Amino acid sequence: MGKIREIDVSELIPLIRNACREMAMEYGCDIRDAIRQARETENERARSILDLLLQNAEIATSEQIPICQDTGMIIAFASVGQDVHFTGGSFQQALQEGVRQGYHDFALRASVVADPLYDRINTKDNTPAVIHTEITEGDKVQISLMAKGFGSENKSAVAMLTPADGEKGVIRFVLDTVKKAGPNACPPFIIGVGIGGTFEACALLSKKALLRPLQEKNSDVRYAALEDRLLQEVNALGIGPQGLHGVTTALKVQIEQMPTHIAGMPCAVNICCHVCRHAKVVI
Amino acid sequence: MKKLTLPLSMEERRGLRAGEGVLLSGTVYTARDAAHKRLHEMILNGEELPFDLHEACIYYVGPTPATQGRPIGSAGPTTSSRMDPYTPELIHHGLRYMIGKGRRSEEVKEAIRQYDAIYFVTVGGAGALLSHCVKKRRMVAFEDLLAEAVTELYVEDFPCYVGIDRYGNDIYDEE
Ligand code: SF4
């Protein structure tokens, strides 16, 4: 059995605060590279849009202006080692406090409403973040954060496919979802696909798939091949950057899979715009 | 890209075709979901609107707060279709130009044709770059709506494409 490690939750606050800034202002290098590569094969208008996105990223970083005005809703995937003992207050509240400070101090847009259906009153500090926690072995805390824009979140979907639907069914569902997303979700996309598990687990998988660096493929060669095939088919739709036609509808398709029931094959597609913001905090 | 100053002459409007790239200069008003709802209610109640819609341009944007002496924070377009239920009425009351992203409804297209209006689209997720085109900003109404307040912007060389021209051609339907 490991020795208990004490962590004061207040240590989290500045780390989360800074991660909020980093996500809002810094475009991932992997996205930059993927766009640079995509521009080589694009038509003139699509190329000028991709160039504009690269220029935008430069300005965002050098002048510390958010890449996009929708600075998103924060999702936190926390893995907490079972040998960790939190002190100094509530872990959840510290996380929320980090988000609050980050959005306030770096002038990010507060985009969260307290009640989804009736009042819809802005909480003014972008909290609460959505927090998913899992217990792991060891004495570390790792928090993967995402700042998800809703232009693309709104276009995501879950389908309870059947075993007989097979690979074809997955491809059809991904293509249908991308077609429906169209220009509104700010292509080029990064597309997270979750296959297996249960109704809610595949949705989580599809979101976690967006955290993976774009240069990494699925470790199972069959799924890696399906990622490539899906990317090809998605780009053959011709939607293109901003939906203004071209061959770069998506930069990457990333699949995560897990065991499921004999009777089912849940499948989730989490669409993310090119502003795919994530960061990792480790204590 | 063609440089244009708002408001456009009738000749300029008729000369624009969906798909063309333009750099817009002039005055535009920011308004999105909540502001549209309020404008609609004011029209229903016969109240005077907080800005003159005659020949006006609305930019669908909810910027991040301005910092360090800048007029505005990140300021890219939001999805236009959420404003579709209100747009024909605003066009009827004088609105002629809209800037946003994504497709519009048939009703909006019809109003655009009927009134020689133009729908421009700009690039989503390029709010830092687009903020450079905003030279001045003034609060106009609904300050309580924060990012969704109506403000008057003076923009220079704001990059757009003609999304729907006055003939009803749509950039998203191009072959
Ligand atoms: S979908 Fe993405 S790029 Fe588009 S407005 Fe939302 S956050 Fe920005």
Structure confidence by residue, pLDDT tens digits, B127-138: 999 999 999 999
- Contact across the interface for B64 and A151, Cβ inside 8 Å: no
Distance from C-alpha of A60 to C-alpha of A31, rounded to nearest angstrom: 14
Confidence band of B146 (pLDDT split at 50, 70, 90): confident
Sign of dihedral through CA atoms A216, A220, A221, A224? Answer: negative
Distance from C-alpha of A212 to C-alpha of A201, rounded to nearest angstrom: 17
Distance from C-alpha of A149 to C-alpha of A47, rounded to nearest angstrom: 24
Instruction: Yes or no: say if B131 and B77 are a contact pair by the CB < 8 Å rule.
Output: no
Architecture in CATH for domain B2-169: Alpha-Beta Barrel (3.20)
Domain boundary assignment for chain B: 2-169
Residue B118: closest CA among B47, B2, B20:
B20
Contacts of B153 in chain A (CB under 8 A): none
- Contact across the interface for A65 and B102, Cβ inside 8 Å: no
Amino acid residing at A35: I
Amino acid residing at A166: G
Give the pLDDT of residue A1.
Answer: 59
Per the listing, tokens 């429906």 go with: A180
Mean pLDDT of A116-123: 92
Between the CA of B56 and the centroid of ligand 1 the distance, in Å, is 26
Show the ligand 1 pocket: residues with CB < 6 angstroms. A 68, 70, 149, 151-152, 185-186, 273, 275; B 76, 124-125
| Helix H or strand E segment including A254 | strand A250-260
pTM equals: 0.95
Mean pLDDT of B103-130: 97
Instruction: Yes or no: say if A114 and A121 are a contact pair by the CB < 8 Å rule.
Output: yes
Q: What is the pLDDT of residues B74-108, one digit of tens each?
A: 999 999 999 999 999 999 999 999 999 999 999 99
Per the listing, tokens 């709802």 go with: B37
Judged by a CB distance cut-off of 8 A, whether residue B63 touches chain A is yes
Mean pLDDT of B13-18: 96
Residues of A with CB under 8 A from a CB of B: 45, 48-49, 52-53, 55-57, 59-60, 63-71, 107-111, 122, 124, 149, 151, 182-184, 186, 242-245, 273-275
Distance from C-alpha of B87 to C-alpha of B104, rounded to nearest angstrom: 10
Secondary structure of chain B in HEC code, one letter for each residue: CEEEECCCCHHHHHHCCCCCEEEEEEEEEECCHHHHHHHHHHHHCCCCCCCCCCCCEEECCCCCCCCCCCCCCCCCCCEHHHHCCCHHHHHHCCCCEEEEECCCCHHHHHHHHHHCCEEEECCCCCHHHHHCCEEEEEEEECHHHHHHCEEEEEEEEEEEEEEECCCCCEHHHCC
- Tokens linked to A110: 């507060």
The pLDDT > 70 percentage for chain A reads 99
Which residues have CB under 8 Å from B79's CB, separation 6+? A151, A184, B60, B100, B101, B102
Give the pLDDT of residue B175.
Answer: 73
Q: What is the pLDDT of residues A7-58, one digit of tens each?
A: 999 999 999 999 999 999 999 999 999 999 999 999 999 999 999 999 999 9
**Chain A nearest CA to B171, separation (Å):** 7
